[in-house]
Structure 1
Amino acid sequence: MTQLTSIISCPHCEHQACERMPTDACQFFYECKGCGTLIKPKPGDCCVFCSYGDVPCPPIQQAQAGGEAGPCCGESCHG
């Protein structure tokens, strides 16, 4: 079952927030609620949840479960 929330941790101030992930697109930018920094994914990751969340985005979860990744995520996202 696909999990739709992830705890995202800011790489600058370490603030954590529980956020709902989009199911139809990857979220490339996220504004930290602690320090206001606009963060983006690490190189090779498709979204901020895959880089800084405790749960990867729904398309990657589906791919890891043996399904196909959604239209926003290619095979290069997480090998």
Structure 2
Amino acid sequence: MSAVVLNSIITCPACGHQKDETMPTDACVWLYECEHCKTMLRPKPGDCCVYCSYGTNRCPPMQQSGPCCVD
């Protein structure tokens, strides 16, 4: 089993701005505001969080092949 990666670079689909973020291990991030253009990012249909939709690495629960925070 490989180590969980806690950093992910989020790319805003509206303006292309990128930011390296540290993902939480105990919560999903459903809303993320781009610091450049102020667009509010939400997960794409079928994804559990903004990291899974717009990040270079999936969220920690998904990296471990477990369920995410979706009910």
TM-score relative to the length of structure 2: 0.90
* Maintained 8 Å contact 1:59/1:73: no
For 1:66, the equivalent position in structure 2 comes to none
One-letter code aligned to 2:69: C
Root-mean-square deviation (CA), in Å? 1.4
Distance 2:68 2:11 in 1: 25
CA deviation map 1:12-60 (0-9, x unaligned): 0010000010101110000001111111000000000000000000000
Distance 2:70 2:63 in 1: 11
Q: How many positions carry a matched residue from both structures? A: 69
Unpaired runs of 5+ residues, structure 1, are: 64-68, 75-79
Alignment of 1:1-79 (within 5 A): 1-63=3-65, 69-70=66-67, 72-73=69-70
Tell me the secondary structure at the aligned position of residue 17 of structure 1. strand
Cα shift at 1:70: 4.7
One-letter code aligned to 2:47: D
Unpaired runs of 5+ residues, structure 2, are: none
Distance 2:39 2:55 in 1: 16
The runs of at least 4 aligned residues of structure 1 exceeding 4 Å deviation read none
TM-score relative to the length of structure 1: 0.81
Percent identity, aligned pairs only, is: 57
